[in-house]
Structure 1
Amino acid sequence: MESGLSFDRFVKKIYLNAPLERIYYCWATEAGITSWFLRSAQYTSKEGHKRDASELVEEGDVYRWQWHNWEGEEKGSILGANGKDNLELTFSNSKISLRLAEKKGVVLLTLEQYDIPTDESSKMNIYNGCSNGWTFWLANLKAYLEHGILLNETSFDLTNDPLAGHVFVNI
């Protein structure tokens, strides 16, 4: 990534005190990603069969994700998955690269969202919205992995509040 900020990409990093394999599992399986992030997830192989909940995704898979407190869904594809420390996927009309690296007894997770369109709507909804969203969700992952708690809102139904995603910090 070149120096400076631009609206076509952003990077978020966090240190996690958890085994690298567990962190990867939390991103690359239905059971993992629904434990801390999503209400439901479905992964389908390029051959068309639904992956088991604990089966790692592979390059060419497609996904369907649904969140708590949001009626929409995200559909995309897995662009790369090495089964250990690197995962790439399409997401929200852009792409995400997730890299894990062991550093001094912990794991540095680096999430980069890139190829973001730079029209005004994308600047607000993808760059701003996703950048804020990933800040929370990575903190939620840390809370889950290190302390066994979740910070995201599941007790109150916020689906009918059109501004919920912009004003609540934990959905």
Structure 2
Amino acid sequence: MKKILTLFAVVGLFAFSGCSDDDNDNVDYDTIPYAFEIKNVDLGRVTDNEYNLKSTFNFEINDNLRDDETVLIYRLMDLINSNTPVWQLIPRSVYFDNGNVIDYYYDFSKVDFVITARASFNLINASDFINDQTFRVVLIPSDLAASVNKNNYLEVMKAAKLDESQVQNVKF
């Protein structure tokens, strides 16, 4: 519980620190796009073949009648080297030679999100897919999401004019 409260505080802090107050009365909510990373987290057991991570944005992503934001979530799939991560957009299915499959997917609302891993087998037997996971959550305007290859993390970040120094780290 302490870890979740810490997450809320950190996410809320970075979200509101991005807002500007030009005339001390009107808050500028044009903080989209932005990104944060949830690093080295273990997904929680729902059933033997389903694990998830539930969290709350400590702010509303669609303030002021803005229903045009898109949430993209990427899973760190591999590291080529310490400077070259391989990010994979979810939803994503991982297929095994024996016919087993793991599906990663997520859902979100204005205030929360859930990242889920569901498999055709007991996931405790594949703990590499549920433990020590790292995710990037990128919030961008929907019109930008419609015009960019969302499967390419680097293309999304470039189109959103975000660089790695702007990715906020959130710990659970």
TM-score interval (norm. to shorter): 0.3 to 0.5
Q: TM-score, normalised by structure 1?
A: 0.34
Q: TM-score, normalised by structure 2?
A: 0.34
Q: Which has the higher contact order (CA 8 A, sep 6+)?
A: 2
Q: Considering fraction of residues, name the structure with more strand.
A: 2
Q: Considering fraction of residues, name the structure with more helix.
A: 1
